[in-house]
Amino acid sequence: MTLLLVLSPNLKTSSMKASRFLEEASLGFDTLLLNLPMEMEEKVAELVSGSISADEFVDEARQHRMIPEPVDSWEYSAKPILEALPRLIGRFPYLSTHCYGSSEHEFASVKLAVKVAELTLRTILIERVEVEEWRETLLHSLEVNREAREAEVEAILERVGRSSVCVSDMGGRGLRKSLQRHGIPVKIHYVERPYHFTPLMVLERLIAKRFVMDEEIERLVRSHLEYIRSYVCRFDNRDRAYYEWAYDKVPWLREKIDKEEIEILDNIINRSRTLTMIK
């Protein structure tokens, strides 16, 4: 029994790369595990069979409250994988497809995201970093994510095949050790390599490993505020915001980023969004 863990950042372009990788690499695997709520499995079966389109899938998920509002935020990075599933199963009809996430975790994640957004706005308004508030919020986030990962491991163990490929976000690295403890050999494929975490992601990872001093929390929170004000609020989509930030702030990554490609990707993403609105 073996498992390939495919890790992808929460970006549309990364999801597109992940879908292409799956279409190229799924030969030899018998099971595809998706980080979608298990409540979606019936609808996923309809999607891969061609009974419904990716847009209809998202509409059904919205109507049945399988994913939290705003759905657009979830759909942004999920859509490329959803669109690729019918093609993937068309090429590999023997591939068994399962979901291992939960709607409960999706709603909890959105609630945490709202809490972080509120804390970000308050920090901007009062022009002061409330260190303990940030520490407690991120510790709570880590606990919620830890519980979610434990539930995901159980779901994967129930669905894993002889040879499986499992799609997850960058936080899914924690699945590896847990699955290995259950005797499943796990290999990791990073869709983006190299990839640089945003300031808040860096802070959360540090807090997960050790006690972080107040000064370091304040420094990374202020870097997070700059990322939000100067990039997220400035551009129309999170891909453009991330790559512009990485180009400006991560010198060793700059030579790997083509500014013209960023413009092209930005146009593609915005054109796709316009077409979706028209539909």
Report pLDDT for 278: 45
With a CB cutoff of 8 Å and minimum separation 6, the contacts of 80 are 12, 15, 16, 18, 19
Instruction: Write the pLDDT tens digit of every residue in 120-171.
Output: 999 999 999 999 999 999 999 999 989 999 999 999 999 998 999 999 999 8
Instruction: Write the pLDDT tens digit of every residue in 176-211.
Output: 989 999 999 999 999 998 899 999 999 999 999 999
34: Cα within 13 Å, side-chain hemisphere: 27
Report pLDDT for 271: 65
Over residues 106-118, mean pLDDT: 90
Strands 186-190 and 2-7: parallel
Instruction: Write the pLDDT tens digit of every residue in 206-257.
Output: 999 999 999 999 999 999 999 999 999 998 889 999 999 999 999 888 888 7
Mind giving me the DSSP string for 161-186? -SEEEEEE-GGGGHHHHHHHHTT--E
Over residues 33-57, mean pLDDT: 92
Residue type, 250: V
Q: Domain of 146?
A: 2-278
Structural domain total, the chain? 1
> Whose CA is closest to 199, among 173, 229, 172?
229
Residue type, 220: L
**Residues 8, 15 contacting (CB under 8 angstroms):** yes
- Residues making up the chain, counted from first to last: 279
Instruction: Write the pLDDT tens digit of every residue in 46-96.
Output: 999 889 999 999 998 888 888 888 788 888 889 999 999 999 888 888 889
With a CB cutoff of 8 Å and minimum separation 6, the contacts of 119 are 130, 133, 134, 137
